[in-house]
Chains A and B, each alone.
Chain A
């Protein structure tokens, strides 16, 4: 963004309501031109700070280097028998090993697909289609990603019962609630590993142990799926420790490109493929593989695994510095999500008296990119269901902002945001009729 490149908009007489004289009109134009010049100076960002890594991450240059040959000379179809095809097949297999290694899985338990939403669709719909002769009840949480919420709504329309467990004030589901919600006809528990808006880390390993215990007592038709899209690369993941049967991943949260993801499917778990008509991915997901994307995903997974602890510590340092600064500099804020069981890179804060999108745009004008789950930006006009699920009121849900740090952010970035944020918040609060201590 470079606002200096913008030119002042022309003053068009037709834009001024009738009843204004030409003298008034000219005066208005001059005032507007002058204010525009001041605006350029005032709004010119001093630096660009990207704090929206939960939405997507920039592609790591090492990942770009790895994938380029598969966009150029190594263009073969992995299903082809000739050398070019086999070269692509080998690359896909190597990437499969890297993605598997990131989560402690075996390579043949990884199904490549287009991303997290498809992985969630394949996992839940695929299991439910196979399992519905045993039962039509599934358990999930009230703070799942919209893709899981959407699938559950579709299943409900088809006669399934869905239990949505509360996440309480700290954003965490309780294992006792999961246990109490189990019914003889429950076939699936789908619970995210880490939340995309507030970053809370759910007790999936505890749920995995519960499922294992149920199986030991003779219940064969109960599976556990977890959406690990936000967690992968930010906290260690081991599918054996989690005890899950299915796990969703997305490459673009891991410094790889958009358009590729994976579903882990524990060996022996049967599910109905949702893409048919090809033998790819051992007939679990038909369609020619996105080879450059898969290669990038493999490279990104290797980097994430090798550098995870270093990056986690860095992200937590930045996040904690940021939150301490906000507590010191901005009044009337509420931090959302449990402080201990939370992803190291994410901070979700509700600002009283202001709406999140106004703050988002105000920060954007200063070169700072964040996101909000608030009303208007989501297109639904409703406040964030995740923040509401924590028991927050409408005002706090509408005034929530997600700051998500990445490995390339620095302490200088944090300090810049702490310099800008209090000013933007103060300005919006001065405009707000909800702020009864307005300076006017």
Chain B
């Protein structure tokens, strides 16, 4: 399948790239098979995600998933973010070929780890 226009847009102009200096939830996960790596830093306040930044190393879908996920997460509650799925992310970027879907799985895995660290910090 060809990549969507949304995919190409995120690739050409990644949103929220970088790292938050005042993040209170950070996660960096990697795919041990292909070496892709995604780092998310979140600033969570009163149960809501105020800001998100990402860094990514890997094939273009990994960069695009980082960018699209960071956009989607802004202003979400922790609860909403917890229920955000790989399917939601794939819809945002117009889908991925089956052999590239590991990029979306990595993004969601990194999000889960970041949210767990946010919840731990709150508790």
Please report A residues at the B interface, Cβ cutoff 8 Å: 3, 6-9, 14-20, 24, 28, 32, 35-36, 38-39, 42-43, 353-355, 357-358, 361-362, 365, 374-377, 379, 381-383, 394-395, 398, 428, 430-434, 438, 440
Contacts and interface: CB of A to CB of B under 8 A. Distances in A.
Contact of A17 (B13, B53, B63, B76): B76
B37 A440 contact: no
B34 A381 contact: yes
Nearest to B18: A440
A430 B59 contact: no
Interface residues of B, number: 46
A408 B70 CA distance: 43
Given A9-B6, A357-B60, A358-B59, A394 B35 contact: yes
Contact of B13 (A3, A24, A39): A39
A333 B100 CA distance: 27
A358 B34 contact: no
Q: Which 5 A-B pairs have the closest CB atoms?
A: A440-B18, A376-B59, A433-B55, A381-B34, A9-B5
Nearest to A6: B5
Contact of B94 (A9, A17, A361): A9
A328 B71 CA distance: 37
Nearest to A360: B60
B9 to A, nearest CB: 5
Contacts, number: 115
Given A9-B5, A17-B84, A394-B35, A365 B12 contact: yes
B75 A440 contact: no
Task: Output the residue of B35, B37, B76, B77 with the most chain A CB within 10 A.
Answer: B35
Nearest to B79: A19
A433 B80 CA distance: 26
Nearest to B14: A431
Contacts of B99: 376, 379
B28 A433 contact: yes
Given A15-B92, A376-B34, A394-B35, A433 B11 contact: no
Contacts of A395: 35
Contacts of B5: 6-9, 36
Contacts of A3: 8
Given A376-B34, A431-B63, A354 B57 contact: yes
Nearest to B91: A15
B19 interface: yes
Contacts of A357: 59-60
Interface string B11-48: 11110011100000000100001111111000000000
A432 B57 contact: yes
A345 to B, nearest CB: 26
A185 B37 CA distance: 47
A375 B100 CA distance: 11
A17 B72 contact: yes
Contact of A432 (B56, B61, B77): B56
A17 B77 CA distance: 11
Nearest to B33: A381
Given A24-B75, A361-B11, A440 B60 contact: no
9 contacts: A35-B13, A39-B8, A355-B58, A358-B58, A362-B11, A376-B58, A376-B59, A376-B61, A431-B63
A28 B75 CA distance: 13
Nearest to A366: B12
A433 B37 contact: yes
A394 B57 CA distance: 13
A368 to B, nearest CB: 14
Interface in B68-104: 71-72, 75-77, 80, 84, 88, 91-92, 94, 99-100, 102
Contacts of A36: 5, 9
Contacts of B71: 28
A358 B55 CA distance: 13
Nearest to B61: A376
B35 A355 contact: yes
Contacts of B59: 355, 357-358, 374-377
A440 B17 contact: yes
A36 to B, nearest CB: 6
Given A42-B12, A358-B63, A376-B100, A17 B57 contact: no
A7 B9 CA distance: 11
A13 to B, nearest CB: 11
Nearest to A354: B57
Given A32-B9, A355-B59, 11 more contacts: A16-B72, A17-B80, A36-B9, A361-B11, A374-B59, A430-B17, A431-B54, A433-B38, A434-B37, A434-B57, A440-B55
A382 B59 CA distance: 12
A35 B9 contact: yes
B88 A39 contact: no
A379 B56 CA distance: 20
Contacts of A18: 80
A437 to B, nearest CB: 13
A274 to B, nearest CB: 31
Contacts of A383: 35
Nearest to A43: B12
Contacts of B75: 20, 24
